Structure 1
Amino acid sequence: MEDSRIALPIGTTLDRFIKRNQDDFQYATGELSQLLRDIALAGKVVNREMNKAGLINIAGAIGTMNVQGEEQQKLDVLANIRFIRALTKGGEVCAIISEEDEKVIDVDHSKGKYVVAIDPLDGSSNIDVNVSVGTIFSVYRRISPIGSPIQKEDYLQKGTEQVAAGYLLYGSSTMLVYTTGAGVNGFTYEPSLGEYFLSHQNMTIPKDGKIYSINEGSLFSFSEPVKRYLEYCREETYSGRYIGSLVADFHRNMLKGGIYIYPSTAKNPNGKLRLLYECNALAFIVEQAGGKATDGINRILDVKPTSLHQRVPFFVGSKNMVEKAKVFHEMIHN
C-alpha cells in the first residue's frame, strides 16, 4: 500500500492558517494572531466544561442576575472567567467588554493594542436541554496612545472599525468561525488531537434563502413592517426555524441561506441584542460572506454606539432576504 494511503492528510490547523494569512492584515505584527489563538484556547476550555456539564453540576442557574437583568447560568460565569483570563494573560488586549460585566474591564493600558467585546456564552439558558450554544467576539484597535488610560473612544467604536470578529459554536462538533476582513473561514475542533482544522474555507452565504428565524411567540408585539414581512415569508412557504441560540441560528442560515430577526417589541422597544458584542461581530462576518445586516433600515456596522450594553433591532442573513425586509419598513415609514 502506498504511504499516502496509509497516512492521509489531516488538513490545515488554525495556527498554521493564521500564520500563513497574517500578512492579509494591514497592521500585522503578531499581536492579533496571538489574540485569536488566545480566544481559540479559551474556547477549547469552555468546550471541555460544556461536555462535562451534566456530570459535575455546572449546568443550570447560579441564582444571580447579570447587568442585563438576565438570570446567570453557571456556565455563563465560568465562560466569562475563562475568556477574560485567556485575554488578560495573552498581553495583547488593553480592555474587555463583556455581556456579564457592567463596566469595561481595564486589562493593561501600558501595552495592549486591542479592545475585545465578547458575549462569553450566548444561548446559555439552552444548556440544560443540550441545545447548541456559542461565544461571540469582536476586536477593535485602540485609538488612545498606548500607556494612557482607556478612553470611551477606544471601546465605543462603530462596527466598521472592527479588525476581527468571530464566533465559536458548541454543538455536535465545536467550530470557530472568524474574519479579519479578508473573507470568512471556519475551523472544526478535533478533540483527540486538541486542534482546530480548516473545514469551511472562504465561507459565503447564499444570496437567497428559504428559512426565517424569529420568535413568533412575540408576534403581536412586533411592528407592522415585521408582521407584514412574516406574512410574506409564509406566503412564499418559507420554513420557520428558530433555535433560540443566536450563534446556532446564525450559523445554520450562513450555510443554508436565511434571515435571522430579533426586532423591537413592546417589551424591548430598542430590540434585545447588544450592538457591541453580538450584532457588530455577526454583521461583520455576514458582510464578509456576502450577506447583509441592518436594524430594519440602517446598516448595523454604521450605527454609532453610545453605551456599552446598547441594544438594537437586528436583521441579518442572506442579502436579498434582508433587503426585502427593509422594503417593508420603507413602505410603512414612507
Structure 2
Amino acid sequence: MIDLARQLSVDETPNTLAELIMKLADVSGEIAAKVRLGALSGVLGSAGEQNVQGETQKKLDVIANDMLKEALLSLPQVRAIASEEEDNVVAANHGGAYIVAFDPLDGSSNIDINGQIGTIFTVYPARDEVACDSSDQFAQPGRSQVCAGYMLYGPSTQMALTTGGATRLYTLVPDKGVYQLTETELRIPADCQEFAINMANQRHWAPATQAYISGLQEGSAGHRGKDFNMRWNGAMVGDVHRVLMRGGIFLYPANTQSKVHKGKLRLLYEANPMALLVEKAGGKAVAGAENILDILPDQLHQRVPVILGAENEVGIFQSLSR
C-alpha cells in the first residue's frame, strides 16, 4: 500500500508543496490523538472566548488552531496564513511561495458529544505584489488553489486531498503516524437519492429552495418520481465526506436570517477547498447561479451559499433558482 509521501512524489507534487502537505498531515495526527482521548485529555468544553465570526470557541478549536499555526509558521515556504479563529492574516516568511487558509476544527458543536469533526485546508500561490500580512494575499478565486483537503476525525482519521488532479483518500495508521492511500480516485455519481440540509431553517429559505426540497420530500409520489433520504451531521466536513464516498447533494443555502442572509459557510477556507475536492471528483459546487470556484473574494471571512455534490442534482437546484 502506498503512503502519502510516495503518492505526492508519483503525482509530481513540487517538493516545497509536498513538504507543506506532510506538515499538515503530521499535525492532524496530533490533533486526532487529542480527539481520541476527549475528556481524558482535558480538551472538551468552552474556551470562554468568541472568534471573529462571533462564535463561542471550544477549547479544542483553540488548541487545533495554535498547533496548525505554529507548524505552518515554521515553514520557509509559507508566506502567510488565515484561519477561522484569527481576525486577520498572520504573516509568516517573506519569501514563501504559498499562503495557507484553514478551518482548524470544523463542526465545533459536535466536539463535546463525540460527533464528527475535522480540519479543512487550502493552499494558494503567494502574491509577490502584496504585503505578507494583507488580506489581499487571499483575494484569489478558488480555481487558483494548488492544493485542497480535509481531515475527518472519525472512527478512523481520513484525509481527502487534491493537488490539482484526482481527489484521493488516505487513512491514518495511528501507531505509525502515516497516511496510507485507500482510495485512488473518488467519483461522485451524477445522480443521487440522498441530500443533506438543515431542515430547521426551512421557514427562512427562498421560495426556490423551498420548492426544491419539497420535491425531494414528495419522493416517488411527486414529480421527481423517486424517493430521497435526508442526512445531516452538523459538520460540513462530515456531510461532504459522505457525498464524496457515496454520492448525494449537500446544501447550505442563503436564507432570510440576518447572520446568514448571504450564506453561512466561509468562502476561503470552507467552500473553496470543498468545491475543488468535489469538482475533481466529478461533482459540481455552486453558490446560487455561479460556480463557487469562480468567485473573487472581497473579504477574508466572506460567507457564501453552498450547494455541492451530484452534478445533475446541483443542476436541477440551479434551474429552480434562476
Q: Taking structure 1 as the reference length, what is the TM-score of the superposition?
A: 0.91
Deviation at 1:20, TM superposition (A): 2.0
The reply on whether 1:40 has 2:32 as its aligned counterpart is no
Give the Cα separation in 2 of the matches to 1:104 and 1:167: 21
Amino acid at match of 2:278: V
> After superposition, what is the alpha-carbon deviation per residue over 1:64-85, rounded to whole angstroms, capped at 9, x for unaligned?
1111000100000000011111
Give the Cα separation in 2 of the matches to 1:72 and 1:153: 26
Alignment of 1:275-294 (within 5 A): 275-294=267-286
Indicate the residue corresponding to 2:312 in structure 1.
320
* SS state at 1:285 partner: helix
Deviation at 1:254, TM superposition (A): 1.1
Give the Cα separation in 1 of the matches to 2:132 and 2:261: 34
Deviation at 1:104, TM superposition (A): 0.2
Indicate the residue corresponding to 2:235 in structure 1.
245
The reply on whether 1:306 has 2:298 as its aligned counterpart is yes
Unmatched 5+ stretches in structure 2 = 220-226
Indicate the residue corresponding to 2:35 in structure 1.
50
Deviation at 1:256, TM superposition (A): 1.2
Amino acid at match of 2:49: T
Q: 1:204 aligns with which of 177, 187, 198?
A: 187
Deviation at 1:200, TM superposition (A): 0.9
For the 8 Å contact 2:88–2:135, the answer to whether it is kept is no
The reply on whether 1:165 has 2:148 as its aligned counterpart is yes
The percent of aligned pairs where both chains have the same amino acid is 38
Deviation at 1:145, TM superposition (A): 5.4
Indicate the residue corresponding to 2:245 in structure 1.
255
Indicate the residue corresponding to 2:216 in structure 1.
233
Deviation at 1:198, TM superposition (A): 0.4
* SS state at 2:315 partner: helix
Give the Cα separation in 1 of the matches to 2:30 and 2:74: 15
Indicate the residue corresponding to 2:321 in structure 1.
329
Amino acid at match of 1:263: P
The reply on whether 1:103 has 2:84 as its aligned counterpart is no
| C-alpha RMSD over aligned residues | 1.3
The reply on whether 1:20 has 2:10 as its aligned counterpart is yes
Deviation at 1:47, TM superposition (A): 0.4
Indicate the residue corresponding to 2:52 in structure 1.
67
For the 8 Å contact 1:34–1:92, the answer to whether it is kept is no
Indicate the residue corresponding to 1:7 in structure 2.
none
Indicate the residue corresponding to 2:224 in structure 1.
none
Give the Cα separation in 2 of the matches to 1:211 and 1:54: 34
Amino acid at match of 2:241: H
